[in-house]
Amino acid sequence: MMDKKLLKEAIIKFVSGVILLGVLLFLPAWDIKWKNGWLLMAILFIPMFIAGIIMLKKAQDLLRSRLKAKETQKEQKDVISFSGMMFLAAFVFAGLNHHFGWTHIPGWLVWAGAIIFLLAYCMFGEVLRENRYLSRTVEVQEDQEVVSTGLYGVVRHPMYTATVFLFLAMPLVLGSWPSFIIMLAYIPIIAKRIRNEEQVLEKELKGYKEYKEKVKYRLIPFIW
């Protein structure tokens, strides 16, 4: 049965995201016909809309947990704040870069970025399928178990691996080197989040220490 409250919350979040990103991109660009901006909007929000419909029909608990965004730990609140400032700066500078023509990314690299973005989106979707305990906050849920199969047998945080590729592909799609440089800040930000998250999981999730011994790499195999 459809949860009308959840549906309303999902619609509000989705529409708010579309409007906010549109303002952050097209206002600084001062060009409503900016093709790179519309390309990013399309590859970001069309798959998001489809995924939302699927979760509403088949995984409402997962969607509910994904919509929950209030962190309780100070360290994670700082991570969220830094991430927000990074995204704000990256999108605004992408628009300004287009408006003033500061830098140029060749078309083939723009489309390569779009392909990387969509592949990372697919990876993110697979992670959601594999791990029903995923939440946007650092927490251990009731009756939660360690997931160690699929992508979780390769790295301990495949969702964050997907987000690294997603976020670094965005500036390429937007044709902005300044934004790409800004987005590199996501790497130390997510590393900080992962370290804190693993402390919580080791303390509160049974079997996580053994899982760490089995799967050595956090984010990217043979690197970290």
Distance CA 95, CA 91 (A): 6
> How many contiguous H segments (helices) and E segments (strands) does the chain have?
9, 0
pLDDT band at residue 74 under the 50/70/90 scheme: low
Question: Which of 4-8, 171-175, 210-214 has the lowest average pLDDT?
Answer: 4-8
More confident residue, 166 or 125: 166
pLDDT score recorded for residue 54: 85
Q: How many residues can be counted in the chain? A: 224
Q: Is the pLDDT of residue 92 over 90?
A: yes
* pLDDT score recorded for residue 140: 58
pLDDT of residue 79: 77
- CA–CA dist 18, 124 (Å, integer): 20
Quick one: pLDDT at residue 109?
A: 98
Query: What is the reported pLDDT for 2?
Result: 63
Select the highest-mean-pLDDT range: 150-154, 181-185, 202-206.
181-185
Q: Which two tokens mark 155?
A: 């790295």
Average model confidence (pLDDT) across the chain: 88
Which of 137, 123, 133, 121 is closest to 50 using CA atoms?
Answer: 121
List, in order, residues 6 or more apart from 146 with CB less than 8 Å away: 205, 206, 207, 208, 210, 211
Report which secondary-structure segment, H or E, holds 148. Answer: none
Residue 96's pLDDT is what?
Answer: 98
pLDDT per residue over 153-201, tens digit each?
999 999 999 999 999 999 999 999 999 999 999 999 999 889 888 888 8
Place 70 in a pLDDT band, splitting at 50, 70 and 90. Answer: low
pTM, two decimal places: 0.89
Q: Which domains does the chain have, with CATH numbers?
A: 4-214 (1.20.120.1630)
Residue 59 burial class via C-beta count within 10 angstroms: exposed 0-12, middle 13-18, buried 19 and up: middle
Q: How far apart are CA 135 and CA 139, in angstroms?
A: 8
- Reply yes or no on whether the pLDDT at 55 is more than 90: no
Q: How confident is the model at residue 75 (pLDDT cuts 50, 70, 90)?
A: low
Cα-Cα end-to-end distance for the chain: 43
Strand locations in the chain (E) = none
Taking alpha carbons only, the member of 113, 103, 94, 88 closest to residue 185 is: 88
